Amino acid sequence: MGNEAKCVLRVEGKRYEGKALLETNELIFRGAECRVKIAFGEMRGVTAQDGELRVKTKSDVTVFEVGAVAEKWREKILHPKTRIEKLGVKSGMCVALLGTVEDAFAKELRKSKAEVMNGNADKGAALLFVPVEEKRGLSNIAKAAKKLKGAAALWVIYPKGQKEITEVEVIMAGRATGLTDVKVVGFSATHTALKFVIPVEKR
């Protein structure tokens, strides 16, 4: 889940009302009469002025009337954070992988110079990553939650847009352990990452 705003879309001389969503690598518009999805890689130019976000592609110019967030969205599109930055991983930080993650992410962690522990969070990792591919894997969230200490965070990585396991189910599994869900980021084209922490009053 990225940024979201009510929006009027202008394209090819027509106006449509709906909702705009700024995701990890694409800008989406959803309306009753029109749906648009523009990947960052397709954009040839992005400008913001007077509450309008103007996106130029090879074939057209699409205007998103999103109001005050226009400039902020332009910056995020032109200078997107890396996945490592979005997940809060920093050099020297101790992170634990409690399950198998994609090779690309494992390489990004090593490049970030974080201290990576595979399958073990007993040394007090600041971030724990738990991949959950199907419903039965939700039980791993409770196991991981027991390893959290203080301000440490638990990231649950799960498939996006699948009925087998939904965001609501992931949230409920985390809350059932007493944790609080605080952030959602697009982990990849196929997966979402949901962040849980121990409530401040219980640390």
Residues 153-183: tens digit of each pLDDT: 999 999 988 888 999 999 999 999 999 999 9
Side-chain half-sphere exposure of 31, counting CA atoms within 13 A? 19
Q: Are residues 119 and 183 in the same domain?
A: yes
Q: Are residues 72 and 87 in the same domain?
A: no
Place of tokens 């976000």: 53
pTM (2 decimals)? Answer: 0.73
Where does a domain end: 78, 101, 134?
78
Q: What is the pLDDT of residue 5?
A: 94
Q: Are residues 66 and 99 in the same domain?
A: no
Q: Are residues 109 and 182 in the same domain?
A: yes
Cβ atoms 27, 54 nearer than 8 A: no
Which residue, among 34, 67, 32, has the nearest Cα to 53 in the 3D structure?
67
Where does a domain end: 78, 106, 126?
78
Give me the sign of the Cα torsion angle 117, 119, 122, 127: positive
Q: What is the pLDDT of residue 1?
A: 42
- Residue-number span of the structural domain to which 57 is assigned: 3-78
Q: Are residues 71 and 97 in the same domain?
A: no
- For every one of its 203 residues, what pLDDT tens digit does the chain have, with 9 covering 90 and above? 458 999 999 999 999 999 999 987 899 999 999 999 999 999 999 999 999 999 999 989 999 999 999 999 999 999 988 999 999 999 999 999 999 999 999 999 999 999 998 877 666 799 999 999 999 999 999 999 998 989 999 999 999 888 889 999 999 999 999 999 999 988 988 999 999 999 999 88
